[in-house]
Every structure is written in C-alpha cells, then in structure tokens.
Structure 1
C-alpha cells in the first residue's frame, strides 16, 4: 500500500486521477493532504476543513468482476468502514445519512465522494475521496458539523485514524469482492439515519413532504413510505432529507 503525503493540493481525487494517467496505480494507493484548496462534495458542494486538523484523502481501488448495477455497494462498503473506524476510537452514536454522509449524534463528521471509472460497460476502478473531521474544534457557519475531537474531547493522531480506516476498508471490500452483497446491505441499512422515524423531505421541485425511511434499494435509491402506505424510491437528485 502506497501512501503519498502532500502539504497542499487542490483536490486529492483530482491528484490521484491525474497520477493514474501517467502511472500504473496499485490497489489502495492513498493521497492525503494537510490542506485541500478545492475540496469537493456530492453534487458540486464544497468540502471545507481547517488545514492540518482533519483528514482529507483519496484512495484508489480497482475491481475485477463488479457489475455496474452493483456500484452502490461500493458506497456501502466505504460507509461501513468509516463507521467501524470511528467506533474503534469510541466516537458515539454513529449513523449514515443517505447516501454517504457519516454522522455522530446527528451532526456531520465525514463526507464521501466516489468517482467510478467505467470501461467497456464494466466497473474498472474507483477514486474514493474522504473528508473526515478529526481535531477541528470550531465550525464557522456550519452548525450541523462536528469532529472526533468535539465528540470525545480528546486529540487524535491523524495517521492512526487513517490506517485504522484503511484496515477496515480492506475487510469490507473483501466482502464486496466475494459477493456478500446481502451482508453489506443489511449492515448499511441498520445504520441509516432516521430509519423508521417520521422525517421531512424536499423534492427536486422544492416541495416539502413527510415520510418514513424504510431502506435503500440495491441500486442505491432511498425507499420512503409515504401517505396511504405507498412505498416510493428516490434517486439522489430527486430528494433530500431535511434534519
């Protein structure tokens, strides 16, 4: 496993992708930086983190037999690895806010950005970007953000946290590669934020409605029970969960 450490870069995902254009990347090649100047989140959002206090990194993962229709299991495996790592450091009340934000006591502690490479209609590889709040104590204008240090009132060694996550990531990707989709699915759904609780959502047109999260389909669509016992599935662009 190769770990590349940078003082600063625009985006670890972009750096790792560009590196792959000129080099043959080995599995679990990692790029980690103290400062990410143009960090990205889901759907064009920006990831902000104080330099040197948090983990901002990307991991390269190649696949051999993973079908395109199973690509959401990549997100499941990564989310489960992050939850397992946080639990190793005794971080409390961890949940997954669909599709792949990690929460601690209902506040965001980690975000994931997965960029899949598809070649000849087959999943070839992924660049997995992770922003994990570790030692940052204040979050200006981000009332729903938290960190490991805020939650546990202690300092964490960044390298220890990174290596612990990578250890779990390998274990969950082993399950994925061995086709243990049902196990991953069950464990992921058990961690879903606000599962089976009355929740408020907003659709793409801005309309607000209520429902109950029942689960996630194998393709990553959120399953919501609406009025009149109607179970409807939504893609990421169709719905957002309001706190």
Structure 2
C-alpha cells in the first residue's frame, strides 16, 4: 500500500483524483490528511472534523468494476471492510446506515463517499473517501455523532487504521466472484434499523417533506433502499428521495 501523508488539504478525494489523472498510480494508493478544509459527504454535505484527531483518508481502487451497474458493489465492500476493521478494535454494536454511514449504537462514527470515473477505454476508476471519528470527543454541534475514543473511553492510534481497512478491502475484492452472495447477506444483516418500524421523510418533489412510516427490508443490487410501506407494498428509494428520521 502506497501511503501519501498530508498535513492539510481541501479534500483528500479531490487531491487523489487530481494526481491519479496525471500519474499511473498504484492500485490502493492511499492519501491521508490531518486536516481537511472542504470535506464532502453524501449529496454535497460537509464533513467536519477536528484537526489531527480523526482519520481522513481516500483510496484509489482500480480494476474491480467494469460496468456502472456495479457501482454499489464497491460501496458494500468498503462499508463491510470498515465494520470488520472496527470489530477487531472491539467497537460495539456496529451497523451500516444506508447507504454507507458507519454507526455504533445509534451514533454516526464515520461516513464513506465514493466517486467513480469512467475512462475513455471503459475502465472504472474509483476514489473511496472515508472520514472516521477516532479521537474527537466534542460533538456539541453534532448530537447524532460519536467517536471511537468516546465509545471505548480511551484514545486510539489512528495511524494503524488505513492499512487495516485497505487489507480488508483487498480481501473482499479478491474473493468477490466466489463470495458476493455472502457479502450481500452480511450487508443486509448489518443494516441500521432493518426490520424496525420507523418514520421517514419524503424528499421527492411530488410529496416533499411528508413523513411516512416504513420498515427497511433490504437494498437492491443497484443500491436502492427497499422499504415496506403501510399498505404492504415495497418501494425502492434513491438516496436523494428519502431521509430516515431516528
């Protein structure tokens, strides 16, 4: 694993995308930063992190996906890999809040943002961004967030995490063809609030802002959330169409 360490950068994802477009970087090249001034989350949200306390990393992943219908497979692999890495550190009650927030109990401890580029020859190159709250303890303005240090009651060495997570990702990519169904099952079983009645907010333009009750059933092969509605029908939602209220 090639590791590029930065002190401060606007976005590790943007930095890695820029250098990967110019250089023939090794697969699984990782960029980390102590401080990120313009961190990004899903749907353009900002990822805020105290300088020097958390894991901010982006990884280059090539030669895995060859069809844009497979985009969610990488999201699944990365989410499960982070979960496995955290389990090895004894972080309790881990789950994946669709599509790829990492939770412990009902608190968000990490988020994943994957940006895919389709090259002129059809190859798909992915930059996987991960923000993980490690040693930050002040979440006054983020009541739904927590960190590994808060959960375990002690600080951790965050420098061990990139290699640990990348090794898990490599293992899953290498065994994907024979183990895809197993990984999908693991992802289903790790979904936050799966099978529990809960309220949602509709973000569709037709019914924007309306709340409704539903039960998460699973996720489609293309990454849509499958929700059982009160009329016993199952609807599928894109990330921009629905918000969990918990």
TM-score interval for Structure 1 and Structure 2 normalised by the shorter chain: over 0.9
Q: CA deviation at 1:68?
A: 1.5
Count of paired positions: 242
Equivalence for 1:232: 235
CA change 1:67–1:237 in 2 (3 A) is: same
Instruction: Return the alpha-carbon distance in structure 2 between the equivalents of residues 21 and 196 of structure 1.
Output: 43
Aligned to 1:228, the other structure's residue is in SS state: coil
Q: What are the equivalent positions in structure 2 for 1:35-54 lying under 5 Å apart?
A: 35-54=35-54
* Aligned CA-pair RMSD: 1.3
Equivalence for 2:195: 196
Deviations 1:187-216 (A, max 9, x none): 101000010000110111111000100000
Q: What are the equivalent positions in structure 2 for 1:110-125 lying under 5 Å apart?
A: 110-119=110-119, 122-125=122-125
The answer on 1:147 being equivalent to 2:150 is: no
Q: What are the equivalent positions in structure 2 for 1:14-163 lying under 5 Å apart?
A: 14-63=14-63, 66-119=66-119, 122-163=122-163
Equivalence for 1:219: 222
Q: TM-score, normalised by structure 2?
A: 0.95
CA change 1:198–1:168 in 2 (3 A) is: same
Q: TM-score, normalised by structure 1?
A: 0.96
Instruction: Return the alpha-carbon distance in structure 1 between the equivalents of residues 64 and 115 of structure 2.
Output: 17
Deviations 1:51-110 (A, max 9, x none): 111000100000255321121011000000000011000001000000000000110000
Listed as ranges, the gaps of 5+ residues in structure 2 are none
Aligned to 2:169, the other structure's residue is in SS state: helix
Q: Is the 8 A contact 2:10 2:38 kept in 1?
A: yes
CA change 1:35–1:120 in 2 (3 A) is: same
CA change 1:45–1:149 in 2 (3 A) is: same
Instruction: Return the alpha-carbon distance in structure 1 between the equivalents of residues 65 and 57 of structure 2.
Output: 26
Aligned to 1:139, the other structure's residue is in SS state: coil
Listed as ranges, the gaps of 5+ residues in structure 1 are none
